[in-house]
Structure 1
Amino acid sequence: MSPATASDPASESAPARLETEGRPADGRQRVALLGMPNTGKSTFFTRLTGAHAQIGNWPGLTVDLMQAQLELGGQPALVVDLPGLYDLRGYSEDELLVRGFLESTRLDLVLVILNASQIDRQLQLVLQARSLGLPVLVLLNMADEARRFGLTIDHGALSRELGLPVLPISAKYGTGCAEARAAIEARLSCDTPPGRCLDPARFLLDDLALDAALAPLLAAAVRLPERLKDRTTRRLDAVLLQPLLGLPLFFLAMFLMFQGIYALGVPLQLGLAHGLERVGTELIRPLLAGLPPFLGGFLMDGLYQGIGTVAAFLPVIFLFFLAMGLVEDSGYLSRAAFLMDGLMERLGLDGRSFVLSLMGFGCNVPALLGTRVMRSSGLRLLSMLVIPFSLCSARLNVFLFMSAALFAPRQGATVIFSLYLLSFVAMIVTAALFKGSFSSDEPLVLELPPYRFPTFRQMLNRAWCEVRHFWFWSRRFIILGVVAIWLMNNLPMGVAPASAGTLSGMLGQALQPLLAPIGINPKLTVALLFGFIAKEIVLGGLAVIYTQADPLRLGQALAQDLDWAQAYSFMIFTLLYTPCLSTVAVMRSESKNGRFTAFAVLWSLLLAWVSSFVFYQAVLWFRG
């Protein structure tokens, strides 16, 4: 398999524009993956192309066009992973996106991915694609799961009845994927012109005709048991979906997850930090000794220390995504959405909003993009308003460091967990206050897939790709931020670094009337200001401001400068204040409303200041 390249909104580079006019000049053939949510479509895309697609066992995860280039049968091909949808005639944004793609793109092959265990509901999409005249190859994914549940599918009979090739596969384990690839290459090797772009009028399909065609298909090829033999899912759901115990068990599971990440990740983080410190002291600093002091200080105390401090936390981020990948891919997040839907409905949201907020724990950007699965404009805007309060991985860096530096080991995980709870409180308060301004009557349609435990390889690949994305995406902002902070700490020349006479000192002092009441000193102020570009800069900025790259020494410097109340107030403000620049840009693009985006930014600033003020002043009052 040749190396594949992929692009998506949250990938390492900006998404490439899909080519839609005729055959590409380089002769590439076009293959599109089409399927309902939760069919394993993105898993197959990843296995086929070798490119990274986000995989999660809950409906509606794939929300944008992702593409990968590879060779199929010795010929270059462009494979496109389309958003999951239930109906080619629907009107949600993702359904309109797929229709627009089919209307403007000439395709050589459409791979319709079906969840074999739900074939009675999913064949309708195949019939729609066939009626539209698309060149279709049907892949029955999760065929192993269907057999385990007691379903019998005669794929040969199904192929004859449909008049289309049908192949059983398991994208998760790779079973049948080699045969599927061979079938794809065989179809593409046929000397046929690319399919035509679809006329919008063709989407006016005859429901009665489609329904009439479905029954004979099921009768000829499918044997459904009276009750699916999925005892594991039924037994787990009897406990995990219990009305009184479900939510407490979910939050207990999250708390234990954070405890485990903290216990394993902090020693790894400290070990990597010590190694980076030794490299800087024993190798880099001697190499820079001959440079002018200003330039040497910039490279060592600014650039290296800032980037190295952030890099030291990559093991913790890896463990976080490893654990979250297990929670997402197992199907537990769909249950969390179901459990939270009643509360979310009272707040003008629904269970999908809750799941997208959980996705925001990794990064707010793809979570905002996920709102495309919502048809109601009001529901989308209210969800976009609350999602940026999710404690993303960039903020997690800051909180892990400060909790380890300023709190006892047993308190650290509790501090982190409290911040996650606070993020939920911020979402609930925001939704309760503004639900009247963003009304919605869209009903929630949510499938509860069977529990599927991902393979260890899937988990490692997921965690590695997320960490790689985090580092690749953030490092440009980190470099920009730490360079700017170092310059502000050292200009004008001739003034003591980071003193009141520097640019950063003057700026911090100017903002003290606003930030002193919440316990934030001038040095923390500078880090917060640059954190607007990207929250990753906050930690690197602190390393530059305090001229300490070793997290242990930086923590000691902060402990001498701050007490626990100031540190926690700073973390509250960092959690809630203005989203990073990329989040704001995506919010503006997705909402198509500049006034809404400005309101979201100002509201987050106000809520952050009020929350920190209430906490810090309450601590001062209790101290007497």
Structure 2
Amino acid sequence: MKRLALIGLPNTGKSTVFNRLTGLSQRVGNWPGLTVELARAKVLLGGAMVEIVDLPGVNDLTGYSDDEAVVRDVLATTAFDGVILVLNAAQLDRQLPLAMQMLATGLPCVLVLNMADEAKRLAVDLDVGLLAARLKVPVVLVSARRMQGWPALMAELNRIGAGSGEARSARLDALPATGVALAEARSVLNGCWTLPAVLPPQISEKIDRWLMHPWLGLPLFVAIMALLFNTTYAIGTPLQDVLGSVLDWTRDHWLSAAVAPLPPILQSLVVDGVWQGVSTVLTFAPILFIFFVLMALVEDSGYLARAAYLTDALMAHLGLDGRGFVMQLMGFGCNVPAIMGTRVMRDRAQRLLSMMIIPFSLCSARLQVVVFFASALFPARLAPWVLTGMYVLSLLVAIGTAWLFKHRYVGNEAYLLEVPPYRLPSIRHLGVRALGEVRAFLELASTFILIGVLMVWLLTHIPAGHDRTLANALGDLLAPVLDPIGIRHELAVALLFGFVAKEILLGSLAVIYAVPETGLSSVLAHHLSWISGLSFLIFTLVYVPCVSAVSAIRRESRSLAFTSLTVGWSVLLAWVLCFLFYQSAIRLFAAG
């Protein structure tokens, strides 16, 4: 099967091109011979199946960052039939040097000049035919966001798919140095690419007067994120209720009848164990979808880069830079890719400090737990603010941890940030991204959830003497630790399996209390006060994220001692925060 490499600089729309080419068929996995995960997808081109491999964004093939080393290793050790090189058509004076290096590798190349709409708006003068003649490679001008120029790109890719060329690895011994590549690029661009001396006024500048204001910028950022959370609730909760009703109807009218011939113990296993655990998690798919749509809108619009700029001064006091804040925001989706994303930092100390604080981000798995508890224990007008508070707490805990450990992990790498213009992502692009995130979440969670709820069911049904189960025994064993922070004994099992994957928490609770998703809210409200419920949420937020995140930290840090420090610190911090909150709250409100 033929294989194409997709390469480009950061912020050139490379991911958008990849998503347009592959839809929802991409998969992420370890690349053979390397401890790195790359997105890959198989598509039909020219009547043949072709695998497209999305490599990390790089600025220079001769650079020293981890991402640049990964790209060189993959190109040198893997046979490719061609390269799709994505550049920003409005920034060729700075980006074409990468093309000069890429051509020196000897691999067939299709040069994709993306963001044609922005180049036109900036009045860029570009002669695509002359540029292609000088480079001696196909050059296609496209706007991946608007699908402009797509037929021409597909024609070039179909030609590669139908061709009979021999795949080969890249030659890296003759790569031109950055200065040489820049000189070559200027010579090639002379007469075929011109940027106006005076750029037309941009709407981005007008918006940034407010969103990047030195005093108003951060309050507006907090307001925008609060609006995002409230919108997630307002749209997602009704959809969640509808899906919950459908799943309950399926259980009552189909599943119960289907398992009726089975022995009672097996009926309980299927209905009270597997079905209740899995269906409880499934009901959060609508809320997660809305959340990821809105987060993709904030990210792809260019606003997150501005958030990094606004927070760079603050992060500098914590031994980090704006990239640390961006990685923290990425962790709101999933901690694992955010931890892997620290590879963009060349300084090891900054990488380690970033990896230590990223697990405090409220990831999508913990999000569903917060959403459920907030809905169960608080009125509708307060639930969104509980969610907002958890996000604020996650940032405060990360900031405090970074401040505490910044002298242990001192970094010295300079940080250069390019702020892109504002872009409005297409509705289709937002939907595809959100569907991909939800699907990846459910696929990752499905195995953990199934195994987890089965084990929880066993713990709650295997007797341990004196009308007690193993779950009761485990709760009693952990009572000296959990009682001071107000967490009930039966929740110990959920916390234990939450270390495997936070997706199991709600499924575990449904099994522990032997109720369906629609009844779990009322049961929690009956058994938990809002104080003990918040204490449970704080512990869930701060303590060890999941096995996958811990494994990612171990793999990326290459240090068992650092991984152990990260895990131990998070558990200790979670207990201390819960102790302070719970003991203070019960005294304050009991006195009131």
Smaller-chain TM-score range? Answer: over 0.9
1:606-617 aligned at under 5 Å gives the runs: 606-617=572-583
- Residues 207 and 581 (structure 1 numbering): CA distance in 2 closer, same or farther, change over 3 Å? closer
Q: Does 1:618 align with 2:589?
A: no
Q: Cα distance, 1:188 vs. partner?
A: 5.2
Q: Does 1:218 align with 2:184?
A: no
Q: Cα distance, 1:98 vs. partner?
A: 0.5
1:423-434 aligned at under 5 Å gives the runs: 423-434=394-405
Question: Which stretch of structure 1 is more off in the superposition, 148-157 or 226-235?
Answer: 226-235
Match of 1:482 among 428, 439, 453: 453
Percentage of pairs with the same residue: 46
What SS does structure 2 have at the residue aligned with 1:220?
A: coil
Q: Does 1:116 align with 2:122?
A: no
Partners of 2:144 and 2:150 within 8 A in 1: yes
Question: Which stretch of structure 1 is more off in the superposition, 473-482 or 99-108?
Answer: 99-108
The aligned residue for residue 141 of structure 2 is 168
Match of 2:245 among 274, 277, 282: 274
Partners of 2:3 and 2:80 within 8 A in 1: yes
- Residues 288 and 193 (structure 1 numbering): CA distance in 2 closer, same or farther, change over 3 Å? closer
| Whole-angstrom CA distance in 1 between matches of 2:300 and 2:183 | 36
Task: Give the unaligned 5+ runs of structure 1.
Answer: 1-27, 56-62
Q: Cα distance, 1:53 vs. partner?
A: 6.0
Task: Give the unaligned 5+ runs of structure 2.
Answer: 29-35
| Whole-angstrom CA distance in 2 between matches of 1:600 and 1:174 | 44
| Whole-angstrom CA distance in 2 between matches of 1:54 and 1:416 | 31
| Whole-angstrom CA distance in 2 between matches of 1:189 and 1:116 | 28
| Whole-angstrom CA distance in 1 between matches of 2:37 and 2:271 | 41
1:314-393 aligned at under 5 Å gives the runs: 314-393=285-364
1:18-417 aligned at under 5 Å gives the runs: 28-51=1-24, 64-187=37-160, 189-199=162-172, 201-203=173-175, 205-229=176-200, 231-417=202-388
One-letter identity of the residue aligned with 1:293: P
Question: Which stretch of structure 1 is more off in the superposition, 176-185 or 589-598?
Answer: 176-185
The aligned residue for residue 435 of structure 1 is 406
Partners of 1:104 and 1:198 within 8 A in 2: no
| Whole-angstrom CA distance in 2 between matches of 1:54 and 1:176 | 26
Q: Cα distance, 1:600 vs. partner?
A: 0.7
Q: Cα distance, 1:206 vs. partner?
A: 4.2
One-letter identity of the residue aligned with 2:500: I
The aligned residue for residue 480 of structure 2 is 513
Partners of 2:60 and 2:178 within 8 A in 1: no
| Deviation digits for residues 307-340 of structure 1 (CA, Å, limit 9, x no counterpart) | 1111111111111111111111111111101111
The aligned residue for residue 535 of structure 1 is 502
What SS does structure 1 have at the residue aligned with 2:140?
A: strand
| Whole-angstrom CA distance in 2 between matches of 1:450 and 1:170 | 15
| Whole-angstrom CA distance in 1 between matches of 2:517 and 2:38 | 42
- Residues 255 and 378 (structure 1 numbering): CA distance in 2 closer, same or farther, change over 3 Å? same
- Residues 86 and 208 (structure 1 numbering): CA distance in 2 closer, same or farther, change over 3 Å? closer
What SS does structure 2 have at the residue aligned with 1:65?
A: strand
Question: Which stretch of structure 1 is more off in the superposition, 584-593 or 610-619?
Answer: 584-593
One-letter identity of the residue aligned with 2:548: S
Partners of 1:42 and 1:54 within 8 A in 2: no
One-letter identity of the residue aligned with 2:401: T
| Whole-angstrom CA distance in 2 between matches of 1:536 and 1:124 | 45
The aligned residue for residue 526 of structure 2 is 560
Q: Cα distance, 1:65 vs. partner?
A: 2.4
- Residues 54 and 454 (structure 1 numbering): CA distance in 2 closer, same or farther, change over 3 Å? farther
What SS does structure 2 have at the residue aligned with 1:140?
A: strand
Partners of 2:42 and 2:49 within 8 A in 1: yes
| Deviation digits for residues 156-193 of structure 1 (CA, Å, limit 9, x no counterpart) | 11122222221111111221122112123324545443
What SS does structure 2 have at the residue aligned with 1:114?
A: strand
One-letter identity of the residue aligned with 1:202: A
One-letter identity of the residue aligned with 2:261: G
Question: Which stretch of structure 1 is more off in the superposition, 426-435 or 72-81?
Answer: 72-81
| Whole-angstrom CA distance in 2 between matches of 1:422 and 1:243 | 23
Q: Cα distance, 1:559 vs. partner?
A: 1.5
| Whole-angstrom CA distance in 2 between matches of 1:53 and 1:335 | 29
| Deviation digits for residues 405-425 of structure 1 (CA, Å, limit 9, x no counterpart) | 111111111111000000001
Partners of 2:93 and 2:186 within 8 A in 1: no
Question: Which stretch of structure 1 is more off in the superposition, 508-517 or 171-180?
Answer: 171-180
| Deviation digits for residues 558-611 of structure 1 (CA, Å, limit 9, x no counterpart) | 111111100000000000011211111111111111111111111100010001
One-letter identity of the residue aligned with 1:376: D
One-letter identity of the residue aligned with 1:79: I
| Whole-angstrom CA distance in 1 between matches of 2:177 and 2:442 | 50
| Whole-angstrom CA distance in 1 between matches of 2:153 and 2:242 | 45
The aligned residue for residue 595 of structure 1 is 561
Match of 1:471 among 405, 418, 442: 442
What SS does structure 1 have at the residue aligned with 2:83?
A: strand
Partners of 2:47 and 2:162 within 8 A in 1: no
| Whole-angstrom CA distance in 1 between matches of 2:227 and 2:422 | 20
Q: Does 1:580 align with 2:546?
A: yes
